Amino acid sequence: LARVLPKGTPVVSLQNGISNAEELRARLPNARVCVGMIPFNVLQKSPGHFHHGTQGHLMAARDDSLQPSLPAFEQCGLPLELRDDMTSVMWSKLLLNLNNPINALSNVPLLEELSDRNYRRCLAMAQRETLELMSQAGIEAVQLTPVPMHLVPSVMGLPNWLFTRLAKRMLEIDPIARSSMWEDLEAGRATEVDWINGEVVRLAESMNQSAPVNQRLTNLVHDCENTRRRWAGDELLEELQAARASR
């Protein structure tokens, strides 16, 4: 792209993670690289067939170069919201993406996984760890779900009967939806775990701290890339509890 894009071309980075736009800016020095975010789940069912599994709309950092394209996004049914707080938006999305490795390791659809309290407790552990680090780093969370982000871990840990009542909108997920990390494992590709849970580990290291839960999830996904081992909810919960206890 660097060889063919005219100078000043807007390029929106929509990959999961925090640091992808920085990577693009280094490789596309003449482009106007903007941070972007896709809040909804997408599953590639077959070549050229992408399944839109949950709700939400696109977001990107406010930039004048994107203004002329907004009507085109609207016409396609994918409205693009320009925001001034994309750092907070990206970290808040990452809090939700912390479920990606758990879903990948579970080897079941998202709806089935989130209906299992053990898997939800695993997610809550990773989210609490991340929220603590974000608070120490002065990074605010923004609300991307019906439940305020700082309350999401508590909701995740609720018993099934109460979770299904209080988090009904969280479970408005297509029954076949899965995480992109699961797709990568199925296709034998390297996963994006270093740009999701790995981002939390790097944030912790920047403050001379550790993130044992997210580090362990990162390691388990890398192991799964080679061994294809999948984890039951109670097994994974025990594994992460042990990692946290060893902190």
Q: For position 177, which CATH number holds?
A: 1.10.1040.10
Question: What per-residue confidence (pLDDT) applies to 54?
Answer: 66
Asked if residue 14 and residue 70 are part of one domain, the reply reads: yes
135 lies in the same domain as 75: no
Picking from 84, 106, 126, the residue at the C-terminal end of a domain is 84
Residues 112 and 74 in one domain: no
Within a domain: residue 208?
yes
b or e along 11-21 (b: 16 or more beta carbons within 10 Å of the residue's beta carbon)?
Answer: bbbeebbbebb
* Whether residues 154 and 168 fall in one domain: yes
pLDDT at 48: 83
pLDDT attached to residue 8: 93
Domain assignment present for residue 125? The answer is yes
- Successive 10-residue mean pLDDT values, the chain, 247 residues: 93 90 93 90 76 78 94 92 93 93 94 94 98 96 85 92 78 75 90 95 97 98 92 96 91
240: in domain: yes
Q: Is residue 204 part of a domain?
A: yes
Asked if 39 and 30 touch (Cβ cutoff 8 Å), the reply is no
Do 33 and 20 share a domain, yes or no? yes
Same domain, residue pair 121 and 161: yes
Q: Does 229 lie in the same domain as 164?
A: yes
Domain containing 65 equals: 10-84
Q: Is 1 among the domain residues?
A: no
pLDDT value at position 171? Answer: 65
CB-facing half-sphere around the CA of 238: CA atoms within 13 A:
5
Of 84, 114, 139, the domain-final residue: 84
Residue at 52 is within a domain: yes
Q: Are residues 46 and 119 in the same domain?
A: no
Domain annotation covers residue 3: no
How confident is the model at residue 29, as a pLDDT? Answer: 93
Considering only the C-alpha atoms of the chain, give the largest distance between any 2 of them, rounded to a whole number of Å.
56
* Structural domain ending residue among the three candidates 84, 105, 129: 84
Whether residue 19 sits in one domain with residue 96: no
Number of domains in the chain: 2
145 and 31 within one domain? no
Please list the helix, strand and coil fractions of the chain in percent, rounded to the nearest 5, in that order: 55, 10, 35
Q: Let me know whether 170 and 192 are in one domain.
A: yes
| 2, part of any domain | no
Give residue 81's pLDDT. Answer: 94
CA-closest candidate to residue 127, choices 164, 100, 106, 104: 100
